[in-house]
Structure 1
Amino acid sequence: MLKNYLKIALRNLTRNKAFSVINIAGLSLGLTCCMLIVLYTKDEISFDRFQKNKDQLYRIQATLSDENETRTIGSTNAIHGPAFKEEIPEIEEVVRTQSSSFVSKKGSDFLNENILFADPNFFTVFSLPMISGDPETVLSDVQSIVISENVAKKYFKTTDAVGKILNLKIDKEFEPFIVSGVAKNCPQNSSVQFESVISFKFQESRGWTDKEWLGFYMNTFVLLNPKSNPATVIPKMNQVFKTKSAEEISKIKHFKQRISFGLQPFLSIHLDKESGDLRNGLDHGSSPIYSYVLSGIAIFILLIACINFVNLTVARSLKRSREIGIRKVVGSQRKQLIFQFLGESFLLSLIAFSFAILLTQFVLPTFNDLANKQLAISYLLDLKLVSGYFGLFLLTGLIAGFYPALVLSGFSPIHTLYNRSKLTQKNYLTRGLVIFQFTLSVCLVIGTLVIYSQFEYLTNKDLGYNDRNLMSFSVGRGENRKEILEAVKHELYGTPGINTVAAFNGNYNGTGAKIDKGEIGFGYIGVDDEFLNVLEIPVLKGRNFSKSYGSDPVQSVIVNESFVKEAGWKDPIGKSINFEWKNRTCKVIGVIRDYHFASLKEQIKPLLLTQDPNYGLGTVYVKINETDIPETIKKVEKIFRKYVPLAPFEYKFEDAANLKRYETEAKWKEMITLAAILSIFVSCIGLFGLATFNAETRVKEIGIRKVLGASVASITALLSLDFVKLILVAIVFALPISYYAVKSWLQNFPYRIDMSWWYFALSALLAIAIAILTVGFQSIKTAMMDPVKSLKSE
């Protein structure tokens, strides 16, 4: 019996090649999307679960509150963790991590090496496998260093590197560090990432001590006793902080910030978008929304493919109605017919599943690039995952074949043998499914247009300054940095291909000060006289810094428009800003136009520019002429190496750096576009199949119409009209759904495009045009048939 069912199923697949290809292609694409997303989701939820202490490991978080905002950060100061461990018995271990960059020496070459400072128990608290070296002692010596496989191969061309020397530049001289251990490269599903690790003891041996309670710049992890409850530890942490920091806070006048501490489970770090920037040894942060959206897209495409299967199978029911009638007359039971048709569905799903595995392997490199992952098909070799894919296969076969099996097995033998079955002409479910799948497709098209437009807006919006051909590099740190900076600037000014040169301190720090109405928080940077000119930022009121005014470095500041607005000033020039923590008061000499010194995903905040001589400048901005940029870069590098010989020359262009801020949006643009194309393609091949079958069942009707004088155009319109009506209904459903979805997504951006009617109109016209082209091809072909041939035989 099973052999007979299999033989009939294969005959039906080969006899109806076009419909088999359509079903297999659609299901293969849908299953491929599902396989890729399952791989992605598995990788996301597997993050950090290999850690043996995962259930007792937490990161200390600090919540900072004032009158304007409340924010939670994953950073602490050096004193917090050790002090908490000393006072709270539930805390068994404390590990602090802080990243830094050092110049390393490889032969005659100088490289930048990222170093992670960590406590000596780093490799015993975290499960990070070692190739060589004892995890308990590798960081016990102040001059020891643990390196990864990659670093070992880069410097020593082998992982057998224990005992070898790695030279790092400390202050002005290179110092030898002995490799005490080689660790395996950090797993891709690990939040903890490092290349080289040095003990905090090294910094302490150089006199570094940090006992301030109000600083937040490193990660601190705590390992709790398995029997302890984090909810009881947190109040103890806050009590310790309140007691220990009281003296330090009392020295600060008008201290209004409220600080409290909490514990973040280590396993939640990867998918916690509220945890702040992942740095100081943490990386690969993500958001659960990615998994939700991608899973939704994969389910949509698979659902569309299953809808095609149902529609085409039901539509072809008339072709098999007589077969079913004869089977019932000769004694076949309904459950036998259901089993047969489900068997055909599972056979087709098995073929589609096989193609999907091959297709998954083929497109995986492209998907990895889009998703910023390193997934491999070997991820499939997992019992749970294989079970999941087998379940997906069974579910697909059931969804695709269950309803058609019920419909076909329920045909009356009398009606089918007398050719009176009219199911395909009045099947409202088939029409409803066509509407549903095109509703999803139109929603994805609208989403694609909006995401694309928002990305173009973010990458092309006027930032308030000119970042084109604006190159930057750092002259490093040290006692003589000021002299080096001035010498580099002096030579750059006389270099052909360079228009202007400026310097600033290299990053935007946050601070606060007192004005006439109270406290105000703002960004704070140090700049030279040419900074505004190089970036082409206009001064709206007052003046720029100038060497003509000797008091500018000590007494003068420049603020942006947002600062003025936040302060509530009508005439800001001459207003006082009191830096109580510096015991210094400055006057506002100028107001500049707001410019986006941060991402466009953030609102422009108040900003203050200073020439405070204690605020060292180290980053050089160079405005390059477009004539020969590569040659000009070589000239800049030559000048850099002349004054900074023991450091690698690393530079960036601001326009490229700004574009890099929107990598996530760029990836989503590509993913949603691909999803929209796939969904429309799968929907259209299903629509093509229905149109083909519809034309087959109306061949004689079309022949009679042509004999009576109907034109090809009128017959084509007749055959296409029913399907166009379904698409119009789908558009009506899609417009409000997509409007709500894209509007909600755009709310995440303080600077965003306006919702325009043309996004929806263009998507609707595109859907109609694609549907007409899909159906029209088959309709024209049928309309042009010779009526003599179509009427000649039964």
Structure 2
Amino acid sequence: MIRNYFKAAFRNLWCNKAFSVINILGLSVGLACCMLIFLYAMDELSYDRFNANAANIYHLAVNSKSPDGEVHKFSGTGNMPGPSFKRQLPEVEDFVRIYGTDYTVKRDNEVFDQVALFVDSNFFSVFTFPMLYGNPQNALNAPNSIVLSEEIAEKYFGRGNPVGKTLDLKVHNKFQPFTVTAVTRKSPQNSSIKIKMLVPQKLRTMDDHWLNFFQNTFLVIRPGTDIRQLNAKINKVYLSDAASQIKESGDKDKITYVLQPLLAMHTSTDYPANNGLSDASNPTYSYILTGIALFILAIACINFVNLTVSRSLKRAKEIGIRKVMGGLRKQLIMQFLGESFMLSFMAFVLAILLVQLALPLFNVLTNKVLDFSYLLSLKLVAGYIGIFLLTGLLSGFYPALVLSGFSPVQTLYNRTQYVGKNYLSKGLVVLQFTLATFLIISTVTIYSQFNYLMNFDLGYNDKNVVSIFAFSIDKAKFSTFKNELSKDPNILSVTADQGGGPWGTSAVINGSREFGFNLQHIDEDYLPLFQVPIVKGRNFSKTMVSDSAGSVLVSEEFVKKAGWKNPIGQTVDFASDKRKYNVVGVVKDYHYQSLTEKMSPVLYSMKPDYPWGNIFIRINDQNKPEALNHIGQEFKAEFPFIPYQYKFKDDEVAEQYDKEAKWKQIITFGAVLTIFISCIGLFGLATLSAERRKKEIGIRKVLGASVERIVRKLSADFSVLILISAVISTPAARWTMQRWLENYPYRITMDAWVFLLATVFVLLIALITVSFQTIKAAVANPVNSLRSE
């Protein structure tokens, strides 16, 4: 019997090759999408779980509540919390501090820019990173010891064991030899800590300030500890140990420490992984990907149902003969379910091939390094088997019930009519195109928002500006470098700032009120180079010595927040150096940060004790190669021990929106796949409709109906379905996209044309899809459809 089922299944698939291919292809695309999303979700959820003691490791985070009630969240701390909490709280078994930095590395007279992490000597007793060479227990004990990852070790020393060899690191503008004491294997891809080079915290000058927030502190908590109670104890210790500093600083913000589980850090939006940690993620993207995958899989299953039922009339006589020969309905259900599972299995095999082909592109879109071998995970295999069984059952259950219920008398006399008024198939098509229209509206909205961000007037000119990262460069050498470049007619202007973006700080204005703002250290050519206007007062001047000693500029937003009507001459008092600075000018607001951030108040300073970190050079657009070549030569001559790396400023700005650009591509792929699979289903329904109404069409033609009128009549039903789907999807898409747009301070408004465009587009695609079958039916010879009557 089973053998007979297989024969019948293969015969049916072979006789209907086109529909079989469409069925298998639709299901395989849906399954492949689910497999890829499974890989993505598993990778997201697996972050940092490889650490043996991960469940007991907590990341120390900070909430800062200002007097006006606004809460700021930080994932950084200073030096003091870790040692103090371990010393005074028995629940804290250990701590590790991690701080990201960059070093200039010299090897064989070549200089490199190297990412490094300052860590405590017990780093390897808290985190689990496999070692290739060396002893992890004492690898970081000596101040001038370093630990390298295997890829960095190979970069500087080639293959082999480099333990005991030295590498020169630039410390306080002098190169010092550091001994390689260990080499780790490549950090796991799902690790928030990516080891390139580890440097002992002992190398740093450790201060005792509690109110600094620049590095990560991890605490190892005793198992079984009540975290809520421990949070209260931690803050009690902080208020006791930091009391004098809180009073001295006059800081009116209320600081509280919060323990964040290590395993929750990767997808946290409140306390994201930064300050040297990597791969901070937003769980919203996982939800979006999962939604797209479920949409596509649902549409693929709907396709299967529609296409299978649309071919049911072709098998009516087969069913009638089987019933007359004694076939039971249960046996017919088993046969059709078997065919469904066979198709699902073929689709599953094809889906695996599609995943292997699509994985490189998927990795690019999601910034992952997922490997095909991840598919062999027991959890994933179990998930795939579950999807296979569920898909096969859901896809084949309804067709099996419908086909097995045909009356043998009706089928043998070719009088079988499709059950009811086809409400289910039409409902499924409405659902398909509701999902498709939803995704198209989302795609158009995301495209529009992305284009809005890319074309937004930032308030400054970043074209033809070369940006060179050169942290902590000598100011005297920079002046020489600047003067040499100014002699070249292709160099239009040169300036610098402190690098790393504006610094967050606070100060007292007019001797009474304190508030936070961003501080940017610049020279007198900075604002002119970027063509940012001064709206009141004047710019910094090289000829006025007092500017570097006691003058500042402020932004319009700063003035607004300070509540000044006449900002020129107002004073700003920094508690750090106990000196008052006079406001000499107001700078027009411009967007120096990503447009995903709100405009912040900015204070501009020329304080001589701040180092330069970024050099900006505006060059002649007509002679870029010559200008870049000259810049490189002069930089290497003046700064031979600083790696020369440059970018164009407008490229740096575009990089701020890489994430939006990639999600635009992902949503677009999802929309295209959804439309494609939906159209396959619509093609099947059009075939069913033309088959079911063959005699009606013949009678209409005999009575004089034109081909155009018949086509319009047949297409009208599908147009109504599309319009119904648009009515359903429009409010859902509007609500969802409005929630998404709320993440952007600067955003588009959702106009009616977006919804109209999506509806018209889907309608046109649908009509093109069904036109083949409707025209074929309309031009057919009516004699062929009526001669059996």
Task: Answer yes or no: same fold by TM over 0.5.
Answer: yes
Give unmatched runs, 5+ long, in structure 1: none
Could you tell me which of 482, 486, 496 is aligned with 1:503?
Answer: 496
Aligned equivalent of 2:556: 561
Q: Which letter maps to 2:259?
A: L
Q: CA deviation at 1:343?
A: 0.4
Are 2:248 and 1:251 aligned?
yes
- Could you give the per-residue CA deviations for residues 231-276 of structure 1, whole angstroms, max 9, x where no partner exists? 3322222122111111222223x42111111211111111111114
Query: Residues 495-644 of structure 1 correspond to what in structure 2 (within 5 A)?
Result: 495-506=488-499, 507-516=501-510, 518-644=513-639
**1:767 alignment counterpart:** 762
Report the equivalent of 2:166.
165
Moved more, 517-526 or 119-128: 517-526
Residue type at the aligned position of 1:488? F
Identity over the aligned pairs, expressed in percent? Answer: 49
Correspondence 1:18-417 to 2 at 5 A: 18-68=18-68, 69-203=70-204, 208-252=205-249, 254-280=250-276, 282-417=277-412
Q: The residue matched to 1:55 in structure 2 has which SS?
A: helix
* 1:514-566 Cα shifts (integer Å, max 9, x gaps): 22462221111111111110011011111111234332222321111111111
List per-residue Cα deviations over 1:711-752 (Å, max 9, x = no partner): 221122122111111111111111111111111111111000
Q: Report the CA distance between 1:505 and its aligned residue.
A: 1.7
Match of residue 9 from structure 1: 9
Match of residue 429 from structure 1? 424
CA distance in 2, matches of 1:513, 1:534: 28
Q: Judge which range, 75-84 or 701-710, deviates more.
A: 701-710
Which amino acid counterpart does residue 499 of structure 1 have in structure 2? Answer: L
Provide the C-alpha distance between the structure 1 equivalents of 2:514 and 2:471, rounded to a whole number of angstroms.
34
Aligned equivalents of 2:545 and 2:134: distance in 1? Answer: 58
Letter in 1 for 2:557: S
State the Cα deviation string for residues 465-490 of structure 1 (Å, max 9, x = none): 11111112244426xx1101111111
- Amino acid aligned to 1:262: V
Deviation at 1:709, TM superposition (A): 3.0
- AA of the residue aligned to 1:768: L
User: In structure 2, what is the Cα distance between the partners aligned to 1:299 and 1:579?
Assistant: 55
Write the distance in 2 (CA, Å) between the matches of 1:184 and 1:209.
Answer: 30
Please give the alpha-carbon distance, in whole angstroms, between the structure 2 residues aligned to 1:561 and 1:324.
80
Secondary structure of 1:628's counterpart equals: helix
Q: What amino acid maps onto 2:515 in structure 1?
A: I
Amino acid at match of 1:241: Y
Q: Deviations over 1:57-99 (max 9, x none)?
A: 1111121111242122111111221111111122111111112
8 A contact 2:266–2:273 mirrored in 1: no
* Equivalent-residue separation in structure 1 for 2:436 and 2:394 (angstroms): 20
State the alpha-carbon separation in 1 of the partners of residues 154 and 613 from structure 2. Answer: 32
Aligned residues: 786
Question: SS of the residue aligned with 2:99?
Answer: strand
Tell me how far 1:425 sits from its aligned partner. 6.7
CA distance in 2, matches of 1:729, 1:52: 54
Q: Which moved more, 1:367-376 or 1:108-117?
A: 108-117
Secondary structure of 2:179's aligned partner? strand
After superposition, residues 442-453 of structure 1 pair within 5 angstroms as 442-453=437-448
Report the Cα distance in structure 1 between the residues aligned to 2:783 and 2:598, rounded to whole angstroms: 72
Q: What CA deviation, in whole Å up to 9, does each residue of 1:549-589 have, x standing for no partner? A: 33222232111111111111222222222224322222222
Cα distance, 1:364 vs structure 2 = 0.6
The structural deviation recorded for 1:663 is: 1.2
Aligned partners of 2:29 and 2:293: how far apart in 1?
9
SS at match of 2:622: coil
TM-score w.r.t. length of structure 1: 0.96
Bigger mean CA offset, 621-630 vs 695-704: 695-704
Distance, in Å, in 2 between the alignment partners of 1:341 and 1:705 is 36
Q: Render the CA deviation track for 1:484-520: whole Å, top value 9, x for unaligned.
A: 1111111111123111112222230111122246222
CA contact (8 A) 1:315 1:424 kept: no
TM-superposed CA distance for 1:664, in Å, is 1.1
User: 1:588 and 1:201, CA in 2 relative to 1: closer, same or farther beyond 3 A?
Assistant: closer
Instruction: Give the drift of 1:37.
Output: 0.5
Distance 2:421 2:310 in 1: 10
For the aligned residue pairs, the C-alpha RMSD in angstroms reads 1.7
Offset, 1:781: 2.6
Three-state SS of the structure 2 residue aligned to 1:423 is coil
1:277 Cα deviation from its structure 2 partner: 4.9
1:10-32 deviation per Cα after TM superposition (whole angstroms, max 9, x unaligned): 11111122221221111011011
C-alpha distance in structure 1 between counterparts of 2:613 and 2:148, whole Å: 29
Distance in structure 2 (CA, Å) of the matches to 1:521 and 1:369 = 39
Q: Which amino acid aligns with 1:3?
A: R
Deviation of residue 329 (structure 1)? 2.8
**Structure 1 CA distance for aligned equivalents of residues 642 and 581 of structure 2:** 37
Q: Which amino acid in 1 is paired with 2:255?
A: I
- Give the distance between the partners of 1:422 and 1:159, measured in 2 at CA: 77
Q: Paired residue for 1:486?
A: 479
| 2:459–2:591 CA contact under 8 A, matched in 1 | yes
In structure 2, runs of 5+ residues without a counterpart are none
- The 8 Å contact of residues 554 and 604 in structure 2, kept in 1 or not, is answered as yes
CA, structure 1 residues 562+172, in 2 after alignment: closer, same or farther (shift >3 Å)? Answer: closer
3-state DSSP class of the match of 2:549? helix
Are the counterparts in 2 of residues 145 and 196 from structure 1 also a CA contact under 8 Å? yes
Q: Higher mean Cα deviation, 12-21 or 145-154?
A: 12-21
CA contact 2:471–2:612 (8 Å) conserved in 1:
no
Paired AA for residue 509 in structure 1: W
How far apart in 2 are the matches of 1:610 and 1:634? 32
Q: 1: distance between equivalents of 2:420 and 2:301?
A: 21
How far does residue 784 in structure 1 lie from its aligned partner after superposition?
2.7
CA contact (8 A) 1:188 1:374 kept: yes
Deviates more, 1:662-671 or 1:551-560: 551-560
Relative to structure 1, the CA distance from residue 475 to residue 354 in structure 2 (aligned partners, 3 Å threshold; closer, same or farther) is: closer
Mapped partners of 2:224, 2:135: distance in 1 = 28
State whether residues 418 and 692 of structure 2, in contact with CA within 8 Å, keep that contact through their aligned partners in structure 1. Answer: no
Letter in 2 for 1:561: E
